Structure 1
Amino acid sequence: MAEVDYPADTVRMFVPANPGGGTDAGARVFAEFFEKHSDATVAIVNQPGGGGVIAAQSVARGPEDGSVLLFFHAALHTANLFGQSPFSWESFTPLATTSAVNEVYAVRSDVPYASMKEFIDYAKAHPGELNIGSQLGGTTQVKGEALNAATGGAVRLVDAGTESDRITALLSEQVDVISMSVANAKQYVEDGQMKVLAVINSQPDPMAPDFPTTTAEGLDFSLPLVMTVYGPEKVDDDVKTAFTQIIKEIEADPEFATALQKQAQVPALRTPEQASEFLSAEQKTIAGLLGK
């Protein structure tokens, strides 16, 4: 495998999250393989404040030589659409997508519906009875809106907080369905406490290949949480050229998928051009679901 000549010797990658979470873990795996397949060194800079705004500010007007990068996901879209951030994906130069975290729609094991079709039929027959627990203002609200749309607006979205809060709310019967990570859902399914209606993706998750996907269940949406690397608003052309080469080298490295699997993530590699197309479509999908 070739070592790509990168324009900057040292890269600072700003991550709008605390160390130890999924976004930080994805950034660190990508940084490891970026170093492996280029001649650059990468330093992770965690800047969790402001819902991503502080880290975005650190990068948006940064140098054009590829030495400053932002590592984020669809929360960039939602924060902008909800008026919480002035930065959209178009405020930056997309350089790559790297990995994805899949989530599922989960319900308690004692409910009378065991599939997505049965859930939708039940919701339509009992309008206003069921609640979707989401974290309002974030990416889980988008997933909640998508499911609500599938029921024809028969369910209600309520703010149930973070994933751990949503799990507690579901098991204590405060809400009826939540989105949550595949890794956590797998544990609760094995313990007999939950049932999974669908993975919110068009592709099965390798960690739980038996979980059906939303598209297999007849729902026309796929919303994995895709990790993305951005450069400043303007970057030199040789940065994009180098990224294209580095992404291709990482894609050919089987150890990348293995490293991601340990973090409950899957590869989702795209070059700068492919990333731009993906982000444009992702933003439009999210805006449509939020009625923006």
Structure 2
Amino acid sequence: MRLPRKHLQTSLLLAAQLAAFLAAVPVMGQTTAAPYPTHAVELVVPSSAGGGTDTVARAFSEAMRKYLSQPLTVVNKPGASGAIGMTEVGRARPDGYKLGIIIAEAVIFPHLGPTTFDAAQLVPIARLNADPSAITVKADSRWNTIEAFLAFARAHPGEVQVGNSGPGSIWHLAATALEDRAHVRFNHVPFTGAAPALVALMGGHIDAVAVSPAEVSAYVAAGKVKTLAVMADQRVSGFENVPTLRERGIALSIATWRGLAAPKGTPPEVLEILAAASRKAVADPVFVATLRRQNLGIAYADAATFKAMIEADNAVMKALVARTNLKN
């Protein structure tokens, strides 16, 4: 039976409307993907608790609570001068739920010899901090000046024990660079981070540490240690009475930096959310107050600037490693 033309048009119109309605109704059990993040995000810190990197990470995590809908949970993964923690992040699923603090050692490892760490597996999101190295000794040490310290080291090659945050770490490299510039030779003693190195120093097990002023500031204030010189172009805030090596005729400035990174392949929209939150967190009073209280330098840089800085540092560290014979 053939429908009249008018009825046929009406039926086709109703069918089209019904199809449109059904397309707009969600299928039972189907849900729209929730915006990132939907649960806690793990933040891997490649050093021991208590050091500068850990302090920066925890202050950042606390500040991010205001700008990210889920918390950043700090997990310390020290070892191999940061390679263990950074490698874990680089190999993680690129979904934004495992991030890491990337440190200056990322541009040192590739030049030391064979390594399982691959910096190309990490995507820089934001630089958070930067600090110079410094030479610090016990408060009752025989040395009160950097000149006396270096003179003793020069007269007793290999006897002065200088602690660092691990073989091939930025602080190991800093002490080795000082050897090269000052024509001395130290006995380098590695630890899993600046914090355990400081414990060893205060216990009298080593003679000095080559870590940042920030990492020793609390112990300087408590009268347990004293800093002899900083490896910076200018004197450091909170350490205005401590000379730079350049003031003492040694042309050496070397610093560490710390930033946020994600595994390669992390979706751009996730990186954008993290970048926006990071920019706000670094300017947050919680982050600023914590870093200033610890004499840690605030040095925010966006992803593009941070990436360019990493590439520039990579070239510098390659030349420095070659000159100081650190490569195995």
TM-score (norm 1): 0.75
Q: Give the residue type in structure 2 aligned to 1:133.
A: V
Q: Which has the larger radius of gyration?
A: 2
Alignment correspondent of 2:43: 13
Question: Cα 1:60–1:213, aligned 2, differ >3 Å: closer, same or farther?
Answer: same
SS at match of 2:71: strand
Amino acid at match of 2:97: S
> Is the aligned partner of 1:211 residue 2:242?
yes
- TM-align CA RMSD: 3.7
1:167 is matched with which residue? 201
1:90 aligns with 2:124: no
Q: Is the 8 A contact 1:144 1:157 kept in 2?
A: no
Counterpart among 8, 16, 25 of residue 55 in structure 2: 25
| SS in structure 2 of the partner of residue 41 of structure 1 | coil
Structure 1 letter corresponding to 2:72: A
What whole-Å deviation, never above 9, does each CA across 1:25-52 have from its counterpart, x for those lacking one?
A: 3212112222323x43233242526534
**In percent, how many aligned pairs have the same letter?**
21
Contact 2:129 2:299 in 1 (8 A): yes
Q: What is residue 42 of structure 1 aligned with on the other side?
A: 71
Change (3 A) 1:202 1:41: farther
Structure 1 CA distance for aligned equivalents of residues 46 and 141 of structure 2: 38
Gap change, CA 1:271 and 1:157, over 3 Å in 2: same
Distance 1:127 1:47 in 2: 37
DSSP 3-state at the match of 2:240: coil
Q: By how many angstroms is 1:272 displaced?
A: 0.8
Gapped runs of 5+ residues in structure 1?
1-5
> Is the contact between residue 133 and residue 166 of structure 1 (CA under 8 Å) also seen in structure 2?
no
- Using a 3 Å threshold, how does the CA distance of structure 1 residues 240 and 203 change in structure 2: closer, same or farther? farther
Residues 123 and 99 of structure 1, relative CA distance in 2, 3 Å threshold? same
Q: How does 1:185-264 map to 2 (within 5 A)?
A: 185=216, 196-264=227-295
1:245-284 alignment, distance < 5 Å: 245-284=276-315
Structure 1 83/9 Cα, relative in aligned 2: closer, same or farther at 3 Å? farther
Q: Distance in 2 between matches of 1:165 and 1:290?
A: 28
Say if 2:103 and 2:258, in contact at 8 Å, map to a contact too.
yes
Structure 2 unaligned segments of length 5 or more: list them.
Answer: 1-34
In the superposition, relative to structure 1, how do residues 213 and 281 fare at CA in structure 2: closer, same or farther (>3 Å)? farther
Q: Are the counterparts in 1 of residues 126 and 303 from structure 2 also a CA contact under 8 Å?
A: yes
CA distance, structure 1, for counterparts of residue 303 and residue 69 of structure 2:
18
Change in CA separation of 1:222 and 1:35 when aligned onto 2, cut-off 3 Å: farther
Amino acid at match of 1:44: T
Change (3 A) 1:16 1:113: closer
Structure 1 residue 17, shift from structure 2 partner: 3.7
Which residue of the partner structure matches residue 60 of structure 1? 90
Using structure 2 for the length normalisation, give the TM-score. Answer: 0.68
Residues 128-163 of structure 1: per-residue CA shift (max 9 Å, x gap)? 3763513461333111111011113x3234326542
